[in-house]
Structure 1
Protein backbone atom coordinates (compact mmCIF):
# COMPACT_ATOMS: atom_id res chain seq x y z
CA UNK A 1 0.00 0.00 0.00
CA UNK A 2 1.61 3.22 -1.15
CA UNK A 3 1.76 6.04 1.39
CA UNK A 4 0.77 9.46 0.03
CA UNK A 5 1.67 12.93 1.24
CA UNK A 6 -1.03 15.59 1.57
CA UNK A 7 0.00 17.05 -1.82
CA UNK A 8 -0.10 13.64 -3.56
CA UNK A 9 -3.48 12.84 -2.01
CA UNK A 10 -4.95 16.16 -3.15
CA UNK A 11 -3.64 15.47 -6.68
CA UNK A 12 -5.40 12.07 -6.69
CA UNK A 13 -8.66 13.68 -5.61
CA UNK A 14 -8.37 16.43 -8.23
CA UNK A 15 -7.97 13.93 -11.09
CA UNK A 16 -11.78 13.52 -10.97
CA UNK A 17 -11.88 10.35 -13.11
CA UNK A 18 -10.12 8.08 -10.64
CA UNK A 19 -11.89 5.85 -8.12
CA UNK A 20 -9.78 4.92 -5.11
CA UNK A 21 -9.71 4.55 -1.34
CA UNK A 22 -7.35 6.02 1.22
CA UNK A 23 -6.65 4.60 4.66
CA UNK A 24 -6.03 7.36 7.21
CA UNK A 25 -4.06 6.33 10.29
CA UNK A 26 -1.65 7.34 13.03
CA UNK A 27 1.47 5.26 13.70
CA UNK A 28 0.77 4.56 17.39
CA UNK A 29 -2.90 3.61 17.00
CA UNK A 30 -3.46 -0.10 17.77
CA UNK A 31 -6.76 -0.25 15.90
CA UNK A 32 -5.04 1.33 12.89
CA UNK A 33 -2.44 -1.47 12.91
CA UNK A 34 -5.20 -4.11 12.93
CA UNK A 35 -6.99 -2.34 10.07
CA UNK A 36 -3.76 -2.14 8.06
CA UNK A 37 -3.23 -5.90 8.47
CA UNK A 38 -6.79 -6.47 7.22
CA UNK A 39 -6.11 -4.23 4.20
CA UNK A 40 -2.85 -6.08 3.49
CA UNK A 41 -4.82 -9.34 3.28
CA UNK A 42 -7.23 -7.72 0.81
CA UNK A 43 -4.30 -6.40 -1.26
CA UNK A 44 -2.87 -9.93 -1.39
CA UNK A 45 -6.12 -11.06 -3.02
CA UNK A 46 -6.54 -7.92 -5.17
CA UNK A 47 -3.05 -6.44 -5.77
CA UNK A 48 -4.31 -3.87 -8.29
CA UNK A 49 -6.85 -2.36 -5.92
CA UNK A 50 -6.42 1.46 -5.92
CA UNK A 51 -5.80 1.73 -2.18
CA UNK A 52 -3.45 4.21 -0.51
CA UNK A 53 -2.60 5.22 3.03
CA UNK A 54 -1.74 8.52 4.69
CA UNK A 55 -0.67 9.51 8.18
CA UNK A 56 -3.38 11.90 9.42
CA UNK A 57 -0.78 13.75 11.52
CA UNK A 58 0.61 15.23 8.28
CA UNK A 59 -2.77 16.09 6.72
CA UNK A 60 -4.07 19.16 8.58
CA UNK A 61 -5.85 20.64 5.55
CA UNK A 62 -7.47 17.37 4.51
CA UNK A 63 -8.43 16.50 8.08
CA UNK A 64 -10.37 19.78 8.37
CA UNK A 65 -11.91 19.76 4.89
CA UNK A 66 -13.06 16.13 5.04
CA UNK A 67 -14.12 16.48 8.69
CA UNK A 68 -12.23 13.37 9.82
CA UNK A 69 -13.36 12.67 13.38
CA UNK A 70 -11.16 9.70 14.30
CA UNK A 71 -8.78 7.07 13.01
CA UNK A 72 -8.67 4.54 11.56
CA UNK A 73 -10.72 5.94 8.69
CA UNK A 74 -11.09 4.73 5.12
CA UNK A 75 -12.32 7.33 2.66
CA UNK A 76 -13.76 5.95 -0.58
CA UNK A 77 -13.76 8.16 -3.68
CA UNK A 78 -15.61 7.51 -6.92
CA UNK A 79 -14.64 9.68 -9.89
CA UNK A 80 -12.82 12.05 -7.55
CA UNK A 81 -15.85 12.69 -5.35
CA UNK A 82 -15.99 11.59 -1.71
CA UNK A 83 -18.48 8.77 -1.44
CA UNK A 84 -18.10 7.30 2.02
CA UNK A 85 -16.16 7.56 5.28
CA UNK A 86 -15.66 4.25 7.09
CA UNK A 87 -14.68 4.32 10.76
CA UNK A 88 -15.68 0.79 11.74
CA UNK A 89 -13.74 -2.07 10.18
CA UNK A 90 -15.41 -5.19 11.47
CA UNK A 91 -13.87 -7.90 9.30
CA UNK A 92 -11.72 -8.58 6.25
CA UNK A 93 -14.81 -9.85 4.44
CA UNK A 94 -16.78 -6.65 5.10
CA UNK A 95 -13.87 -4.46 3.92
CA UNK A 96 -13.33 -6.65 0.88
CA UNK A 97 -16.96 -6.26 -0.21
CA UNK A 98 -16.77 -2.46 0.25
CA UNK A 99 -13.51 -2.04 -1.64
CA UNK A 100 -13.85 -4.63 -4.42
CA UNK A 101 -16.00 -2.39 -6.70
CA UNK A 102 -13.02 0.02 -6.92
CA UNK A 103 -10.97 -2.58 -8.81
CA UNK A 104 -13.44 -2.64 -11.70
CA UNK A 105 -13.56 1.13 -12.20
Structure 2
Protein backbone atom coordinates (compact mmCIF):
# COMPACT_ATOMS: atom_id res chain seq x y z
CA UNK A 1 0.00 0.00 0.00
CA UNK A 2 2.77 2.47 0.88
CA UNK A 3 4.50 1.89 -2.45
CA UNK A 4 1.36 3.05 -4.23
CA UNK A 5 1.10 6.12 -1.99
CA UNK A 6 4.82 6.85 -2.39
CA UNK A 7 4.35 6.95 -6.16
CA UNK A 8 2.03 9.94 -5.60
CA UNK A 9 4.58 11.71 -3.42
CA UNK A 10 7.78 10.94 -5.27
CA UNK A 11 9.79 13.57 -3.39
CA UNK A 12 8.60 12.49 0.07
CA UNK A 13 11.03 9.99 1.60
CA UNK A 14 9.27 6.88 2.89
CA UNK A 15 11.22 4.14 4.64
CA UNK A 16 10.22 0.81 6.10
CA UNK A 17 11.61 -0.99 9.13
CA UNK A 18 10.96 -4.43 10.51
CA UNK A 19 10.60 -3.73 14.24
CA UNK A 20 11.39 -7.38 15.00
CA UNK A 21 14.95 -6.48 14.02
CA UNK A 22 14.91 -3.14 15.85
CA UNK A 23 12.87 -3.41 19.05
CA UNK A 24 14.66 -0.37 20.50
CA UNK A 25 13.16 1.78 17.77
CA UNK A 26 9.65 0.48 18.50
CA UNK A 27 10.17 1.11 22.19
CA UNK A 28 11.60 4.60 21.70
CA UNK A 29 8.69 5.70 19.50
CA UNK A 30 6.08 3.76 21.52
CA UNK A 31 4.80 1.79 18.54
CA UNK A 32 1.81 -0.17 19.83
CA UNK A 33 1.05 -2.39 16.84
CA UNK A 34 1.97 -2.98 13.23
CA UNK A 35 1.58 -1.84 10.59
CA UNK A 36 2.39 1.63 11.81
CA UNK A 37 3.27 4.70 9.79
CA UNK A 38 5.38 7.08 11.84
CA UNK A 39 5.65 10.56 10.35
CA UNK A 40 8.74 12.64 11.07
CA UNK A 41 9.26 16.35 10.55
CA UNK A 42 12.69 17.83 11.20
CA UNK A 43 13.73 14.70 13.08
CA UNK A 44 10.72 14.63 15.38
CA UNK A 45 7.99 11.98 15.32
CA UNK A 46 4.85 14.06 14.82
CA UNK A 47 2.17 11.50 13.99
CA UNK A 48 1.66 7.76 14.18
CA UNK A 49 -0.93 6.15 11.91
CA UNK A 50 -2.18 2.65 12.68
CA UNK A 51 -5.45 2.20 10.81
CA UNK A 52 -4.51 2.68 7.17
CA UNK A 53 -8.02 1.69 5.97
CA UNK A 54 -7.34 2.54 2.33
CA UNK A 55 -4.81 4.05 -0.04
CA UNK A 56 -6.97 7.17 -0.26
CA UNK A 57 -6.96 7.53 3.53
CA UNK A 58 -3.17 7.25 3.79
CA UNK A 59 -2.82 9.66 0.86
CA UNK A 60 -5.00 12.25 2.63
CA UNK A 61 -3.07 11.84 5.89
CA UNK A 62 0.30 12.29 4.16
CA UNK A 63 -0.68 15.13 1.81
CA UNK A 64 0.05 17.98 4.28
CA UNK A 65 3.43 16.46 5.13
CA UNK A 66 4.29 16.09 1.44
CA UNK A 67 3.48 19.76 0.85
CA UNK A 68 5.58 20.81 3.85
CA UNK A 69 8.46 18.58 2.72
CA UNK A 70 8.31 20.01 -0.80
CA UNK A 71 8.39 23.58 0.51
CA UNK A 72 11.30 22.73 2.80
CA UNK A 73 13.24 21.08 -0.02
CA UNK A 74 12.67 24.08 -2.29
CA UNK A 75 13.85 26.50 0.39
CA UNK A 76 10.54 28.27 0.92
CA distance in 1, matches of 2:45, 2:7: 25
- Aligned partners of 1:82, 1:44: CA distance in 2, in Å? 22
Higher RCO (CA 8 Å, separation ≥ 6 residues):
1
Match of 1:48 in 2: 11
- Cα distance, 1:75 vs. partner? 0.5
Is 1:58 the equivalent of 2:16? no
Task: Return 5+ residue gaps in structure 2 as ranges.
Answer: 70-76
Structure 1 unaligned residues grouped into runs of 5+: 1-37
Q: Tell me, in whole angstroms, the C-alpha distance in 1 between the residues paired with 2:15 and 2:49.
A: 14
Which residue of structure 2 lines up, in the alignment, with residue 89 of structure 1? 52
Higher share of residues assigned strand? 1
CA distance in 1, matches of 2:42, 2:8: 23
Once superposed, what is the RMSD of the aligned Cα atoms? 1.3
TM-score between both structures, scaled by the size of structure 1: 0.58
Measured after TM superposition, the shift of residue 45 of structure 1 is 2.1
The TM-score, its normalising length taken from structure 2, stands at 0.77
- How many residue pairs end up in the alignment? 68
**2:72 — aligned with what?**
none
